[in-house]
Amino acid sequence: MRATENECATDAAPPASALTELPTPLVRALLAARPLSAQDREEVRRVAESAAIDWRGVARTVDASGVGPLALTRMHELGLAGHLDPQTSREWEADRLHAQLQCVLQREDALRVTRALTEAGVRHAFLKGLALREWLYEPLWVRAGSDSDILVDLQDVETTRSVLLSLGFVQASRDKDFTNFRPATPLEIWITESQHYELAQFARDFRLRNPPEWLFSPDYKRQAPSAFEMLPDGPVLHSVIDVHWLLHFLFEGERPLDRVEWLETSTGDAELPTLPLEWHIFFTAFKLYFEALDRPGWGLHLLADLAALLQVRPPDDVDWEWLDSRVELHEMEAAFFYTLSAAERVAGQALVPDEFLRRWAAIEPRDSDDTRPNLDFGDFLPHVLGRRLPGSFLAPVR
């Protein structure tokens, strides 16, 4: 009977703790936005080869967190891809090929949209996945992304809607796994736009006339964020645009579009408008902390984003005073202490000035009449990985 139970346990999904059993240098390498140097790769490979690692468990953990293409690419660079079982390796390779094609097509639409919005006099900025992968990741497609997010001013919402409709987009409804796209009903559009801070999503289909053989191969697993779908008249990529007039309801009084910077695309032949580095750090930390609490087992991609953002410029070139003012204004001390501390550990170096981490760690009432509860919800990483963490996970950098 025990043998049968053990066999069943082997076939079941391994616990999300598999990643926490890895040596710190290997975790950092697998989540690195850019390839390691030859010297660092050799050191990490030596550490990995000397450790007993549940590679199958690691594969499932990172796959469930949306960082499979990133981890696979770094494992190839480290010379460790041979440790993956053949099925996982083939599935991740299919993910890689899909991500490459998806990135190219999504960039094409993003450039069409930004040209049209600029001509219409609409100030705007690309956010989250599309902007971060063009800016931070090498190769860019290792950063998964299902849609393109654009921020506009509230007064430009209807102009933006008209521009997207003129470019062939429709306001659409879909299933959670990015299938069964269809035009949204007026009621669905009204419900979305009255309850959220964004327009009902826009979608446009790329018809793939000569699809590659690998597009829907047996190794292809249909799951978000892949936006490919086989329809009766052939395969398509659903190019999806989300238009926001606020970053979040919490930040209603903010005016992030007062400072827009132009980001050179990874191909070097065009530019996309985006927000300054400080806004990206602020918004990514916010999303990482609260989404990890709401969606256990999800968030490694945001943790990798934040670690990469902290390394874009030397710490002295980041406007930490501005960030601190936003943290205090929105009472996000706990979120910033935990997320930025963890991002430093992923990066493997101290990147946040001590004075700010100490200030955010000391969450105290602001005055004697302040009876609000402590905003510290606890370390978010257990929610990202699905369990409490051993003290040795991701060795401290301070």
Q: Whole-angstrom Cα distance, residue 27 to residue 272? A: 31
Q: Is residue 47 situated within a structural domain?
A: yes
Are 62 and 71 in contact by the 8 Å Cβ rule? The answer is yes
Side-chain half-sphere exposure of 65, counting CA atoms within 13 A: 32
**Domain stops at, among 34, 52, 84:** 84
**Domain stops at, among 60, 84, 108:** 84
Q: Is residue 394 situated within a structural domain?
A: no
Are residues 191 and 50 located together in one domain of the fold? Answer: no
**Domain stops at, among 260, 275, 290:** 275
Are residues 262 and 292 located together in one domain of the fold? Answer: no
* C-alpha pair distances (Å), 361 with each of 25, 245, 356, 364: 26, 32, 9, 9
Number of domains in the chain: 3
Are residues 165 and 235 located together in one domain of the fold? Answer: yes
Q: Which SS3 state, helix, strand or coil, does residue 124 take?
A: strand
Q: Is residue 257 situated within a structural domain?
A: yes
Q: Whole-angstrom Cα distance, residue 368 to residue 4? A: 61
Cβ-proximal residues to 366 (8 Å cutoff; 6+ apart), any chain: none
Q: Which SS3 state, helix, strand or coil, does residue 360 take?
A: helix
Are residues 189 and 110 located together in one domain of the fold? Answer: yes
Q: Is residue 92 situated within a structural domain?
A: no
pLDDT digits (tens, 9 = 90+) for 43-58: 999 999 998 888 888 8
Q: Is residue 1 situated within a structural domain?
A: no
The region of weakest confidence among 26-30, 88-92, 236-240, 348-352 is 88-92
Q: Is residue 51 situated within a structural domain?
A: yes
Are 357 and 340 in contact by the 8 Å Cβ rule? The answer is yes
Are residues 104 and 216 located together in one domain of the fold? Answer: yes
pLDDT digits (tens, 9 = 90+) for 275-324: 999 999 999 999 998 877 677 667 889 999 999 999 999 999 999 999 99
Q: Is residue 396 situated within a structural domain?
A: no
Q: Whole-angstrom Cα distance, residue 191 to residue 202? A: 15
pTM across the whole model: 0.89
| Amino acid, res. 294 | D
Are residues 261 and 131 located together in one domain of the fold? Answer: yes
Are residues 265 and 124 located together in one domain of the fold? Answer: yes
pLDDT digits (tens, 9 = 90+) for 115-145: 999 999 999 999 998 999 999 999 999 998 8
Are residues 180 and 328 located together in one domain of the fold? Answer: no
Range of the domain at 327: 279-385
Are residues 24 and 51 located together in one domain of the fold? Answer: yes
Look up tokens 């008209």; give the residue: 162
10 Å CB burial of residue 170 (0-12, 13-18, 19+) is middle
Q: Is residue 148 situated within a structural domain?
A: yes
pLDDT digits (tens, 9 = 90+) for 160-175: 999 999 999 999 998 8
